[in-house]
Structure 1
């Protein structure tokens, strides 16, 4: 940022630039009376040079190659941020299920026998993931991403310590809910940060790396948690998560950079106002409304997308059902494998490992495939459309993996087949889930890049809500239908969802054009 600015007047317009030609600067445009409208916001987002608009002074990027524009960052700077975000999104979901193998010990310690309480102890954390994004997303679109990452980490660590010190189930439930609320920050706005810095042909790989956290965390956590609980107590699960969360507090402060373009230009604007004394300067990406009104609008935006935009609604429902099934499996593994195969707490933790392995397979395969399709289309001179992310050659096989995995898991556990076979079924299900979630998430981010955080919040709300509520009936469903038909029911539901991406691949652009709601 330059240290001093000079103004050169020409007619009715004033163009302000830095005295130091080697310094990245913002351009502003100043003229007479205030206009009714301001320069186009999407043009500002795209980092295109602006022409003067009679009226206000607008602070913009210093041309298309401004190094302060996150899209122009070096690859190392971009991937440093993505790696930190990916690690953060692994740590916060660890708290959701890392102590699942010790549920029976907690129930005995507090003399509780309800199976609903047993599953709710795990799933209430995901309820925080459902409601947290409704506040986190709008805050990120007003104040930027970086402050939320830092303070979210601080609160997550504090609430985790309080959970470790809980002296009863009500206190345990309350602080697990608060952990979920604070831990929802990287899961909610991580996709927005990636959209801020990555071009569309590289976004699939970056999104796959980031998406791995919310799904992999709940699967690898119980592996360590099972043995940790057996060797010490369930409280040490939370002490370990608190230590990991605490480590990311300095990382998020010193290494994470702001990626949200409006927040960066707002900082430039404030510096320009201070240096020039011109309090009328405004960022070209700022809205006409004050912070209070912008927050109200941003809070409503995710729900408007979810309720009034069928593209977001149906796609979010697909992911929510699949995610809810995953959590139903996760919350019942410790009971199923203990009853069917006699696994103890330590060995029960290993039953979560196949889900993690399947997700890694899905990430490695999907991230490269989807970016490859985009790059090939660009090389052919074809215009990129969001629907390309839903090509049936990808979405149909990935969708089929869900019911196939569920059928294998359900009937092999029902018949007592060697435990490796149901674990293979879980791995197949998880690989398909990871792939289809990547298809859908990238599709929605390509379709609505300017409101990526709100789109993610809408998806996270429905996904986490079903992830918290579906498991509550898991054990009762298995009691009533058995493991075979219980999981077959889930498989038939997931089978019915397969045509959804195909429909949007064919008709998605028409649907989006017809339901272009005002946000």
Structure 2
């Protein structure tokens, strides 16, 4: 649908104080129709930088509320090659984050033993791996709302600096608590997981978001495959510190790429800066109303408002709570497996740590298969169901693959646990691990696309609720898996986990059927403001 031209001309002589508008849609409807939202229709909790008034001529005040059709500054109308440059940077950032997070997995016990004067501690080894998620749970509480207040670009740059500094702290740690602290800080400043999907929504139309999201989701698989494999071999040949210094180098490279090659993608931020630039060129004073609006949007009140927004969105949306619960539990399976994998491969199958790292490639192979399935199916399913619905698309049309993943996950967990319990051939065990890689990605990618479509301009804040709960479960649930395995063995322990997964399986089915009605209960996902 063509974007509406939203420049309104007010002549001071006879129109002072009068605002003209042709857009009566809600911001959510504008997003779903591929039209920029009008800030005048959004409440104070909306993720806006404030509408401005541009004076380009002393006789005319032009009020810039949305991009004009064909505006080259509109991210949705940027050249496709330019958009994919940004996606490539997000890809590299995601791979770097996962490499930094996962590379210590096969050598966690060695790191703890080295930093604890030769003492082994299983719980410390598990915590060293999963504590990252605790930091990653806290970071989005500020990252997402600040990106909706000040824009994506400054938040990406500031967080990249601190992320690199945390990696340096890990490389120079002298005690286990210091290393664990560095892991918390690293997770705290991760931006790719929360801003990646939001940036995809900033620059791509809905019918192209699935493909772009697939590529962004590919990055963690690359980092997750290369990190443990390199980590095991480098630690055997040199030292585990060399593994961490490799992460530092990758982090610094990301910082340079973001600083030099990235630019702002958040439409309200671009409009606000365009206002400032044009007013400065024209030399005209800022109208009183716009000055007050801008002051408010940049003041402490707006900053506090932006921090609270993710909680308000999460609390108001039963849909977000439900999909977050399902996604978080599904995500915890990854850490349930990776924290038990070294013990299984070394104790049951007699592999070395370097071979353990290489064995994690099987998970990435499964993830690649899942990514291929999603890349070929998510957008096609969406387009097919949209046509069947008279050309009206719904966010729920992203969910069929997630339903399939919900059905398959319990069986994958059972195969993982019992193949280790009975010492089945190594290829059977690795197949179970690989199949879970496919299943988890088939759950994550449609889930992220659903949240972006359903929450539109509030996507970053909505993703915050999902990521916080996901990271808390990813950090804490594996700590309960350790005593389960010690007391009942791998088979029974993962049978319990499988039962919990089966109990959560109906959630995406319910959202698929009733999601459109349930979304009307929240003003952040409501189609009709009158409802």
How many Å apart are 1:227 and its aligned residue?
Answer: 0.7
* 2:285 paired residue among 278, 281, 292: 278
How many Å apart are 1:306 and its aligned residue?
Answer: 2.6
CA offsets, 1:169-212, max 9 Å, x none? Answer: 11111111111112x21211111100001111111111122123
Which stretches in structure 2 are left out of the alignment for 5+ residues?
A: 1-7, 41-50, 54-60, 527-531
Q: Distance in 2 between matches of 1:82 and 1:247?
A: 16
Indicate the larger mover: 443-452 or 93-102: 93-102
* Partner residue in 2 for 1:32: 16
CA offsets, 1:125-146, max 9 Å, x none? Answer: 1111111000100110011111
* Partner residue in 2 for 1:471: 478
- Contact 1:57/1:282 (CA < 8 Å) preserved in 2? no
Root-mean-square deviation (Å): 3.0
* 1:413 paired residue among 410, 420, 424: 420
Which stretches in structure 1 are left out of the alignment for 5+ residues?
A: 1-6, 14-30
* Partner residue in 2 for 1:235: 241
Q: Distance in 2 between matches of 1:10 and 1:107?
A: 71
* Change in 2 beyond 3 A, CA 1:302/1:398: same
Q: Distance in 2 between matches of 1:49 and 1:493?
A: 44
* Change in 2 beyond 3 A, CA 1:12/1:193: farther
Q: Distance in 2 between matches of 1:327 and 1:340?
A: 19
- Contact 1:98/1:225 (CA < 8 Å) preserved in 2? yes
- Contact 2:519/2:525 (CA < 8 Å) preserved in 1? no
Query: Does 1:336 find its partner at 2:344?
Result: yes
* Change in 2 beyond 3 A, CA 1:486/1:286: farther
Q: Distance in 2 between matches of 1:199 and 1:518?
A: 18
* Partner residue in 1 for 2:392: 383
How many Å apart are 1:218 and its aligned residue?
Answer: 3.6
* Change in 2 beyond 3 A, CA 1:377/1:344: same
Paired residue secondary structure (1:514): coil
* Partner residue in 1 for 2:57: none
* Change in 2 beyond 3 A, CA 1:105/1:499: same
Matches within 5 A, 1:185-334: 185-214=191-220, 217-276=223-282, 277-280=284-287, 282=290, 289-334=297-342
* Partner residue in 2 for 1:365: 373
* Change in 2 beyond 3 A, CA 1:436/1:10: same
How many Å apart are 1:516 and its aligned residue?
Answer: 3.0
- Contact 2:455/2:524 (CA < 8 Å) preserved in 1? no
- Contact 1:316/1:458 (CA < 8 Å) preserved in 2? yes
How many Å apart are 1:287 and its aligned residue?
Answer: 9.5
* Partner residue in 1 for 2:5: none
- Contact 1:395/1:436 (CA < 8 Å) preserved in 2? yes
Please report the TM-score for the alignment, with normalisation by the length of structure 1. 0.88
* 2:140 paired residue among 111, 133, 145: 133
Q: Distance in 2 between matches of 1:166 and 1:334?
A: 23
* Change in 2 beyond 3 A, CA 1:368/1:156: same
